[in-house]
Amino acid sequence: MIRLFVALGLPEELCDELSSMCGGIPGARWVPEENYHLTLRFIGEVPGWQAQEIDEALACIRAPAFDLTLRGVGTFQKAGRVAALWVGVEKTEPLMFLQAKVETALQRIGLEPERRRFSPHVTLARTERAEQGKVIAFVQAHNLFRAAPVPVDGFALYSSRLGKEQAAYAREVEYGLLEPKPAAALRA
């Protein structure tokens, strides 16, 4: 069995920018910079034969390259407590198109539909054990965060191995996106 998810990796400069914001919340478990990503679809544990089917389905996706912009900071709550701290991602048409193509491709090979609504974000920290006031102060201090747009020319299938402190992610297969057509070509 292998634990898989589909995601967009982030360029090193953007990861450095995100990492420089992190800290100052006792009890928070900060995501290591090398683990920053934007999940398009969590798959979970699958047998090896199904991983091969997943790879083949993802390789057939045709979607245009696009720019990705991170902005704002927020939280996810669980049982009335702030459980995670994240940076938001602008919902653009090309991003939503790619995510829908991934979801459709995986359902076609028999995976159950994703139950949660797609909420694009990059997780910065797990905050279940953090002082809630410090988490709220962090959000207030960084809520105007906005990174420069970065080009996205592909997505990847990742594996995840759970560890005591953090999961270890490995990029298993990369898939390219198509060059966007110039506006003049779209009108022709």
Q: Which of 14, 37, 88, 111 is catalytic?
A: 37
Q: Which of 75, 89, 102, 121 is catalytic?
A: 121
Nearest to 61 by CA among 151, 181, 177, 187: 177
**Residue type at position 106:** L
Q: Is 10 exposed, middle or buried (CB count within 10 Å of its CB: 0-12, 13-18, 19+)?
A: buried
Q: Is 110 exposed, middle or buried (CB count within 10 Å of its CB: 0-12, 13-18, 19+)?
A: exposed
142 belongs to the catalytic site:
no
Report d(CA 120, CA 76) in Å as an integer.
12
Evaluate whether 178 touches 98 at the Cβ level (below 8 Å): no
| Residues acting as catalytic residues | 37, 121
